[in-house]
């Protein structure tokens, strides 16, 4: 939910509601209108509304009028009614006008949050998030696929406030969850594939490791050879469902190319091949990119990342671009200490090494993907979220 319209005369109540939403999700727009709003004025601000919150403490006839105005014009938009007393007349009016939730006044944060959660849960089944699929892979082991995909997922969720899913498609020895969490997976991709015929948003959600409210990880199987149970058709179903329910779906493809990973590449909006500045990467990276072009993938779908970038490397960025006949879109600096510290702790550097050069590059990358607002120096957003300074 992005656009919330609060209808109340009470400015203090409006401020409390704003605060509750700000704590849930910073990227929300809240409109504030007085109860005696005209239909024209309401339409001006409410045509894109995802939720109405109506304060009925004024008088019941006014509430009834506003309720009928909203429910006639926006029959599918949910309404939360706030009331100081749940009179029978008011509750009947509420039912008649399709009010989803009634919450008592004075407002308790917990009660409003519970009502919003219930509405969001119902909406999850009908709203298509139109999520982006981002596939990360390499031609060699140890290039940084897991580190970059896991921390990009974490950053999209925590900095850009996007509902994000990371899928570990390393069919053997997957470890993506461990890079940003200390939880052990109870269910994995293999379990989800086994239940594919009854897979829905709830089952997918309950199979994830919840790293934060906005970041979930579908872990790889911890058993060797179970990968034989996973086939491309199942990956199709999982990705189609995931796209509807998450704003970003990131896939750690590791270094393997097989029928399952090819399906994830086909479905990707952007593919991120991860290379380093050495001759073997140059050679194999070229093969990989030529292969993508031969598949008919448009060039814009491929954004090459150089990881462990060093200015004094013998293979320069120019050499790479020339040999690959492809632009290097992103560069992540070499910082062994920060990466190892983060992996050992299972905590993102965006959390523990915010001011490192690597975190700054990760933030730039996340900003590029999500277009989250660029905070001015010492700006409110940065102070609120304690972002490190922005790179010039």
Q: Could you list the residues that contact ligand ATP (CB under 6 A)?
A: 138, 141-147, 254-255, 307-308, 332, 334-336, 339-340, 343, 358
Nearer to ligand ATP, 175 or 191 (CB): 175
- Exposure string for 127-144, b = 16+ CB within 10 A, e = fewer: eebebbbbbbbbbbeebb
Strands 248-252 and 51-55, by their bridges, are unpaired
- Exposure string for 84-103, b = 16+ CB within 10 A, e = fewer: eeeeeebeebbeebebbbbb
10 binds, among ligand ATP, Mg ion, none (CB under 5 to 8 A by kind): none
Nearest distance in Å: CB 356, Mg ion? 21
Nearer to ligand ATP, 130 or 336 (CB): 336
SS3 state at 4:
strand
142 binds, among Mg ion, ligand ATP, none (CB under 5 to 8 A by kind): ligand ATP
Nearer to Mg ion, 63 or 146 (CB): 146
Sheet holding 270-275, edge to edge: 209-212, 215-218, 164-168, 248-252, 132-138, 270-275, 304-309, 328-333
334 binds, among Mg ion, ligand ATP, none (CB under 5 to 8 A by kind): ligand ATP
The size of the interface with Mg ion (CB under 5 A), counted in residues, is: 1
Among positions 30-49, residues that touch Mg ion (CB under 5 A) are none
Read off the tokens for 102: 């009634």
Nearest distance in Å: CB 145, Mg ion? 5
d(CA 157, CA 351) in angstroms, rounded, equals: 12
Nearest distance in Å: CB 143, ligand ATP? 4
255 binds, among Mg ion, ligand ATP, none (CB under 5 to 8 A by kind): ligand ATP
Among positions 116-155, residues that touch Mg ion (CB under 5 A) are 146
335 binds, among ligand ATP, Mg ion, none (CB under 5 to 8 A by kind): ligand ATP
Sheet holding 101-104, edge to edge: 29-33, 3-7, 51-55, 79-83, 101-104
Nearer to ligand ATP, 138 or 164 (CB): 138
Nearest distance in Å: CB 170, Mg ion? 6
Nearest distance in Å: CB 144, Mg ion? 8
Nearest distance in Å: CB 213, ligand ATP? 25
- Phi-psi category of residue 386: left, alpha or beta, with phi > 0 → left and psi -120 to 50 → alpha: left
Residues lying near Mg ion in the complex (CB under 5 A) are found at 146
């Amino acid at each position: 939910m992005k656009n919330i319209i609060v209808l109340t005369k009470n400015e203090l109540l409006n401020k409390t509601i704003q605060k509750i939403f700000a704590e849930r999700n910073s990227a929300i727009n809240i409109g504030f209108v007085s109860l005696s709003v005209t239909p024209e004025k309401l339409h001006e601000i409410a045509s894109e509304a995802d939720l109405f919150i109506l304060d009925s403490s004024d008088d019941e006839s006014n509430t009834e009028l506003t309720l009928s105005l909203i429910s006639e014009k926006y029959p599918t938009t949910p309404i939360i009614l706030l009331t100081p007393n749940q009179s029978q007349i008011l509750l009947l009016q509420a039912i008649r006008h399709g009010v989803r939730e009634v919450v008592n006044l004075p407002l308790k944060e917990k009660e409003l949050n519970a009502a919003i959660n219930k509405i969001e849960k119902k909406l999850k089944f009908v709203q298509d998030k139109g999520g982006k699929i981002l596939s990360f892979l390499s031609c060699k082991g140890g290039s940084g696929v897991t580190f970059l995909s896991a921390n990009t997922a974490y950053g999209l969720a925590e900095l850009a406030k996007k509902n994000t899913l990371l899928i570990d498609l390393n069919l053997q020895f997957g470890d993506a969850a461990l890079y940003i969490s200390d939880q052990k997976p109870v269910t994995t991709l293999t379990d989800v594939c086994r239940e594919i015929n009854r897979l829905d948003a709830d089952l997918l959600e309950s199979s994830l490791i919840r790293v934060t409210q906005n970041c979930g990880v579908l872990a790889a199987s911890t058993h060797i050879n179970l990968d034989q149970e996973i086939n491309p058709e199942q990956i199709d179903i999982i990705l189609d469902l995931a796209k509807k329910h998450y704003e970003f779906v990131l896939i750690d493809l590791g270094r393997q190319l097989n029928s399952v990973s090819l399906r994830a590449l086909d479905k990707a909006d952007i593919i991120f091949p991860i290379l380093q500045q050495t001759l073997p990467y140059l050679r194999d990276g070229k093969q990989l990119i030529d292969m993508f072009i031969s598949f008919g993938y448009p060039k814009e779908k491929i954004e090459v990342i150089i990881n462990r970038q060093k200015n004094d490397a013998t293979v320069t960025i120019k050499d790479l671009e020339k040999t690959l006949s492809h632009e290097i879109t992103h560069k992540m600096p070499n910082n062994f200490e920060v990466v190892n510290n983060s992996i050992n702790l299972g905590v993102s550097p965006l959390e523990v090494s915010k001011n490192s050069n690597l975190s700054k590059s990760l933030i730039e990358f996340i900003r590029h993907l999500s277009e989250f607002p660029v905070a001015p120096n010492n700006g409110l957003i940065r102070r609120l979220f304690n972002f490190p300074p922005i790179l010039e």
